[in-house]
Structure 1
Amino acid sequence: MSAQNIVVIGGSAAGPKAAARAKRLDATANVTLLQKAPELSMASCGYPYYIGGEFDERNQLLATPTGVVRDEAFFAAAKGVNAQVNTEVTTIDRDNKTVSCVNTVTGEKDTVPYDKLVLCTGATPRRPPIPGIELDGVRALSEMRDADKLRELRDTGEVKDVVIVGGGLIGIEVCEALAESGMNVNVVEMLSQLLTFLDWEVAKLVEKHVKSKGITVHTENGVSEFLGENGKLTGVKLNDGSVVPCDLVVVSIGVVPNATLAKEAGLEIGDFGGISVDTHMRTSDPSIYAAGDCVEIPNRITGKKAYAPYGDLANLEARVVADNMILGDTAVFPGTVNSGICKVFNLSAGSTGLSEKRAKAEGFEVVTATNASLDKPGFMGAKLLVSKMVADAKTGRILGFQCVGPGEVNRQVAEAAMTVMNGNTIFDIGVADLPYAPPFSLAIDHFITTAHILENKKAGRMAGISNADVKERIDEGTAPFILDVRAPTEFEEMRLNVGETLIPLGTLRNSLDKLPQDKDAEIVTFCKISMRGYEAQRVLEAHGWTNVKVMEGGIMAWPFKVEF
């Protein structure tokens, strides 16, 4: 039996993983990796940190943990893979099982036969049809050369004013990288918030932090034109008519699947424009597989197809591809719960599963809880976390979780991701056995506490109200009686200044005459994180008040202006 010919198109994340694992599983296979770019195995998620000066050696983005650059020679010697860079595949001949390619440097053409073909063609940045987008100074961040250029501009100091178009993951990471180098940064986002994987009130905490770093944020605004002189960028005109002068624009409004080859070959394409694959990562052609940012995969909660261009998923999908090519259809990739995290200056912001907005759009009846608390004991250098948990109101199944703050966000989101994937309920998590020691967490972990809050709400023991709803009532002039039960020293240090009444929790039972005497009057209680706010609610209800709500997350989760 002759050796199997495996051809992999694309050399960023999924491609090298599929090629190397296939060769490990079948040492007799002839594995060829064709890459259009001059580099292989680029750690593209690290581009913003290279730009920002977190490290200086660009080859660290291309190297193994031991420092060996993953180039053609490395793949040949260490992996047994025939890797060819600067090689663009132009057509796929499914009938004859060949791919045609051309060397982008020499122009030399070639035809490569395959028994199994893997498409890992990635994604391309969205390029909106905005006048002036062709100007010198308008850039994206998708390739190594983009990172090299932005790092060069950072190092030379020739750019002073920059506009980031798009407030998503990449946009915010690039914003931080350039702002830390001393540039004056404006972020323009067409939607009402940054980081749309978060619910509005959680995203506003991130925006508040970004603004505190001197960044100007324009939400609910877009770019109508890029302005320039003699072919060079001079500024950005926004939809509201204002003009932001700048020397550099980084367009970061998401990516689209690079599925042109697949489409031209007649493979099935999904609603998002990505390549359709089954659970074995096989395309509509049984001899062709696909993985990475060019494919569509199921959402594990809704069952619907989703587009999830994440580096970790690309590697996992590629592993499944390799197993199925060599071992038969033994491996399954069940899909995504859309877990993600990013660094935002001194904060981290992460989420998994469905936001409240998305869950409702999918037809779920939901109950939510917001928790502001520490990630570990105060004597161990605790830092704040603000989380929001979303659950099915009928079953208590946890559908999603969001967390922001300077604390250990990654731990919380990782716990939540496993919970969402496993279909656990708030009751399961309320008694979860997680590792505990003071250097790592509280005795009752923040994630478990969030489930406890949600359990109390679902059982009717706690009535909550979001800070966004409280602020809306204040702005409308229909504010309830707002009761701050913190200590006077806390009030002096920071307060909402929205007409709240200060009655410390320790004096509340002896100060009931200071409250509205109509027992049906609406009262909203809060404290620093609203644990004391919840205790105040229980006290007032025990004394006959019937319409008491807790402002969830307290003043630490308040995304609006506070007075110091």
Structure 2
Amino acid sequence: MSSPLRILVIGGTAAGPKAAAKARRLDEFAEITLIQREPDLSMASCGFPYYVGGTFDDRNLLIGSPAGITRDPAFFHQAKRIKALVETEAVEIDRAARTVTCQHLPTGERFSLPYDRLVIATGARPLRPPVPGIDLAGVTSLHSLADADALRAVRDQQSVRMAVVVGGGLIGFEVCEALRLAGIHTTVIEKTRQILPFLDPHLAKLVENHVRTHGADILLGHGVTEFLGENGRLTGVKLDNGTELPCELAVVAVGVKPNSALAQSAGLTIGEFGGIAVNEFMQTSDPDIYAAGDCCECTSLITGQQMNAPYGDIANLQGRVAGQNVINADSARFPGVTQTGICRIFDYTVGFTGLSEQRARDLGMEIETATIAGTDIPGFMGGKLLVSKLVAERQSGRVLGFQCIGPGDASKRVATVAMAIRGQLTVADLVNADLPYAPPYSLALDHVIVAAQVLENKLAGRMQGLSVAAVKTRVDQGADCFILDVRTPREFEAMRLGIGETLIPLGALRDRLHELPQDKDREIIVYCQISLRGYEAAIILSARGWRNVRVMEGGVLAWPYPREK
């Protein structure tokens, strides 16, 4: 009988444990060792903000199995016959000798472990900008369970009154929500002019407005140049315009970078973006070494380019592929990602998949977009608002991207479009998608289908659309356009945009055409609450000879700028 296969897995958060567990399921007799630098294993790191914010109180839920058993070394040994070494750091890979040198951190003891197959799942490191004072007590991140414990203690002890979050991405706003729920006055500082860079600007602005209604401050276009302190403890931050903000806590959330130093020192190929280069089998440039999770690069299924995708679900998928292939080589593939993500920010869900409009244009693609607003389910069932943007290739109609925000159920809409992108479906495919319908779950025409129908109309030339941002630009520049609101007088009085609009309700439009510009080439911009009536009004006007009628997509509900009340 041949000797059992010796498998080493470096990294015990997400991809590593998944790879080890998959390998065990395929080979009962392999010798599998898991090396983890932290004291905890298999942490649900995406749950850290919700533990900090008090959504749940038992930290063991972050490291527990579905059966409620803590995933500690004893669990891995008894349930999976995997040897888990915690507080142990892999410091060197000797590819020629096929060994990994490890150090037990509490004692400093060094030892070597042999391997036949090696999986590197070292994750990512939080970016720490080279700003004076960043090592002060009170400056932290939310990357490890220890970070989560420290921030949870701040919440429980109510020891902080004012905090800043540096970075306006997903993690930054999840932390912002957690701190606000703890009653801490919180300011988010974002160096660029927009939060949530994966969204197009007008959708990001809607989220920004929502965050402000929950008492958080947002400063855009300014970076932190110094963390201020006294006696080694944080007292404030200084911005690049000289402004100083007092605070007792600063959470730095400006992104992560692949933790690929160990692989690089071993001579493995590193990609353009700093991650370990792997093929579709999660195999590195050394055929006996695999990599998975945030430490490696992967392929965009849309562009074919390499990219980093530091998401927990991707780490688990890649770990599973690596774990299968260390036992049965080349039997599983990970083709790439569509870059899909979702988060909750107070009462809003923010979801996205594929390319934004800006990203697609930066890549030189010829695209068309459609923005819609509406409810997730019928009003009589308590429907909640969703605002979405669908992006497609103009010539082929291939779906390229989708963004969906609002208090409604965005998750299944994002999931639907993610699979459409994965299957290279077109707008025409989505227009007639057979999706589940019942009033508690959906409209008769689901939000995704409506977005596709609007985009189909634009691609076919049946509708000329304008984004709210484009309308705002025309108004600010004093463009010679006629702005027509076709809502009811009651809706108009309850909320008007204040952009020089004229109210003519849709039902009265045919009888009041004389009130419109008689120059049939003058631009008319028409809208309603969500612009369904706006589209119908545009059809009426076009049929009666007006040649430059455009619909403001998404209507009043997609307007992120100041309004009249």
Amino acid at match of 2:247: C
Shift of 1:479: 5.3
- Paired residue for 1:518? 519
- CA deviations 1:420-457 (Å, max 9, x no partner) are 11100000111111111111101111101100000000
Pick which of 507-516 and 113-122 moved more.
507-516
Is residue 462–residue 534 contact of structure 1 (8 Å, CA) maintained in 2? yes
- Paired residue for 2:553? 552
- CA deviations 1:451-510 (Å, max 9, x no partner) are 000000011110000100111111112252111100111111111011111111011111
Shift of 1:532: 0.3
Is residue 24 of structure 1 aligned with residue 25 of structure 2?
yes
Is residue 432 of structure 1 aligned with residue 405 of structure 2?
no
- Paired residue for 2:490? 489
- Paired residue for 1:185? 186
Is residue 384–residue 406 contact of structure 1 (8 Å, CA) maintained in 2? yes
- Paired residue for 1:199? 200
- Paired residue for 1:357? 358
TM-score (norm 1): 0.99
Amino acid at match of 1:353: G
In 1, the alpha carbon distance for the partners of 2:489 and 2:431 equals 33
Amino acid at match of 1:155: D
Gaps of 5+ in 1: none
In 2, the alpha carbon distance for the partners of 1:135 and 1:59 equals 29
Is residue 455 of structure 1 aligned with residue 456 of structure 2?
yes
1:479/1:120 Cα in 2 relative to 1: closer, same or farther (>3 Å)? farther
SS at match of 1:96: coil
- Paired residue for 1:258? 259
Q: How many residue pairs are counted as aligned between the two chains?
A: 564
Correspondence list, 1:104-183, <5 A: 104-183=105-184
Shift of 1:380: 1.2
In 1, the alpha carbon distance for the partners of 2:359 and 2:477 equals 27
Pick which of 233-242 and 269-278 moved more.
233-242
Aligned-pair identity in percent equals 57
In 2, the alpha carbon distance for the partners of 1:124 and 1:165 equals 16
SS at match of 1:295: coil
- CA deviations 1:33-58 (Å, max 9, x no partner) are 00000000000000000000000010
Correspondence list, 1:158-307, <5 A: 158-307=159-308
Is residue 312 of structure 1 aligned with residue 313 of structure 2?
yes
- Paired residue for 2:390? 389
In 1, the alpha carbon distance for the partners of 2:479 and 2:219 equals 29
- Paired residue for 2:367? 366
Amino acid at match of 2:406: G
Amino acid at match of 2:500: G
Amino acid at match of 1:254: G
Shift of 1:191: 1.3
In 2, the alpha carbon distance for the partners of 1:401 and 1:186 equals 29
TM-score (norm 2): 0.99
- CA deviations 1:383-406 (Å, max 9, x no partner) are 111000000011000000000011
- Paired residue for 1:333? 334
SS at match of 1:308: coil
In 1, the alpha carbon distance for the partners of 2:539 and 2:333 equals 49
Shift of 1:12: 0.1
- CA deviations 1:230-254 (Å, max 9, x no partner) are 2211111111222211111000000
Is residue 444 of structure 1 aligned with residue 445 of structure 2?
yes
In 1, the alpha carbon distance for the partners of 2:510 and 2:132 equals 65
Amino acid at match of 1:513: H
SS at match of 2:84: strand
Is residue 401 of structure 1 aligned with residue 405 of structure 2?
no
SS at match of 1:509: helix
Is residue 532 of structure 1 aligned with residue 518 of structure 2?
no
Correspondence list, 1:11-50, <5 A: 11-50=12-51
Amino acid at match of 2:150: K
In 2, the alpha carbon distance for the partners of 1:508 and 1:498 equals 20
Shift of 1:124: 0.4
Is residue 470–residue 479 contact of structure 1 (8 Å, CA) maintained in 2? no
SS at match of 2:102: strand
SS at match of 1:321: helix
SS at match of 2:511: coil
In 2, the alpha carbon distance for the partners of 1:226 and 1:515 equals 58
- Paired residue for 1:75? 76
In 2, the alpha carbon distance for the partners of 1:219 and 1:392 equals 32
SS at match of 1:276: coil
Moved over 6 A (4+): none
- Paired residue for 1:91? 92
